Amino acid sequence: MSSLIFNKFWKAAIVVIGNEILIGRVLDTNSYKIAKMLTMIGYDVTEIRKVRDDVEVIAKTIKELMLDNGVIITTGGLGPTYDDLTAEALAYAVGSPLCLKDDALEMVRERLEKMGLKLDDTRKKMAIIPCISVPIPNPVGVAPGIALFTPRTKIFSLPGVPKEMEAMMEKYVLPILEKENLMVRAEACERLEGVREADIAPMIAEFAKEHPEIYVKTHPGIENGKSFVKLCIMASAESKEEAERRAKSLLKNLLNRIAQSGAL
């Protein structure tokens, strides 16, 4: 996908935090959802890392990714327990002290009241975030997210619970990032029955070379003993409608070329 990469500010990385991910107790669905969201609004996801609940490891990962990415999104580690260490690691990574933020504390208090729960010292931990950051409202759960912007990188730390992550991405993170991007993307796909990937690979390579501004990908499979290939084209444009039109038009052209070759 190198032809779609512009510069650091349009590159993004994702960090999934939690021992439960690494030991196989919990399936990570967050990273692929975030990656798709970012890709469709014009960002190039360069890396997805999964790390354990360790302040130094998380901080080191964030610092490394800040060198080459304009956006970093982390998930996990924002709760009230002893192993929720993302806020501390983020503060360490950017050189900021931690603060008990009044607005974050109010968010926690309001969510707890709606659930019939009281604010205690354990739950106050969720409102302690880097002093130079701002809390992200959590419309589904209790723990606020964290937004921290450096001169070169925007960092968003979100909860690991998928429903909370998705709600906060859609209501807070994406609106901020969409305002900054000049291009959006759309994808058009077609499933080709009875086709083997190797038979159409030369035509795919030739088409991709002719159109370096797009991303062409084949996904082979076998179902009921018969082979198939899912063919997808991703195109960029200044509007979603134009990107969709371009993707569909280019896919149609490629399908016609494949049909004329006799591969279909």
> How far, in Å, CA of 158 to CA of 165, rounded?
6
Is the pLDDT at 160 greater than 70? The verdict is: yes
Q: Which pLDDT score, from 0 to 100, does residue 7 have?
A: 53
Question: With bands split at pLDDT 50, 70 and 90, how would you rate the model's confidence at 163?
Answer: very high
Q: What is the pLDDT of residue 91?
A: 98
Give the tens place of pLDDT for each residue, 202-215: 999 999 999 998 99
Residue 198 has pLDDT above 70, yes or no: yes
Q: Please give the average per-residue pLDDT across 78-106, as a whole number.
A: 97
- The yes-or-no verdict on residue 106 having pLDDT over 80 is yes
- Span 167-176, pLDDT tens digits: 999 999 999 9
Residues of the chain within CATH 3.40.980.10 domain(s) are 2-178
- pLDDT averaged over every residue in the chain: 93
For 198, counting Cβ atoms within 10 Å of its Cβ (0-12 exposed, 13-18 middle, 19+ buried), the class is: exposed
Which pLDDT does position 225 carry in this prediction?
86
Which of the four CATH numbers 2.60.40.3880, 1.20.1050.40, 3.40.980.10, 3.40.50.80 does domain 2-178 have? 3.40.980.10
Q: How far apart are CA 126 and CA 87, in angstroms?
A: 9
Q: 4 pLDDT band (50/70/90 cuts)? A: very low
Residue 6 has pLDDT above 50, yes or no: no
Instruction: List the beta bridge partners of residue 12.
Output: 45, 71
* CA–CA dist 198, 115 (Å, integer): 56
Rounded to an integer, the average pLDDT of 219-227 is 90
Cα(14)–Cα(76) distance, integer angstroms: 11
Report which of 113, 115, 96, 101 is spatially closest to residue 145, judged by C-alpha positions: 101
Contact 12, 44 (CB under 8 A): yes
Q: What is the 3-state secondary structure (H, E, C) of the chain?
A: CHHHCCCHHHEEEEEEECHHHHCCCCCCCHHHHHHHHHHHCCCEEEEEEEECCCHHHHHHHHHHHHCCCCEEEEECCCCCCCCCCHHHHHHHHHCCCEEECHHHHHHHHHHHHHCCCCCCHHHHHHHEEECCCEEECCCCCCCCEEEEECCCCEEEEECCCHHHHHHHHHHHHHHHHHCCCCCEEEEEEEEEECCCHHHHHHHHHHHHHHCCCCEEEEEEEEECCEEEEEEEEEEEECCHHHHHHHHHHHHHHHHHHHHHHCCC
What's the CATH number for 184-261?
3.30.70.2860
Arithmetic mean of pLDDT, 116-127 = 95
pLDDT band at 3 (very low <50, low <70, confident <90, very high): very low
Residue ranges, comma separated, of all CATH 3.30.70.2860 domains in the chain are 184-261
Mean pLDDT for the stretch of residues 91-112: 97
What tens digit of pLDDT does each residue of 36-78 get? 999 999 999 999 999 999 999 999 999 999 999 999 999 999 9
pTM: 0.86
Q: Which two tokens stand for residue 160?
A: 């690991």
How far apart CA 26 and CA 59 sit, in angstroms, is: 22
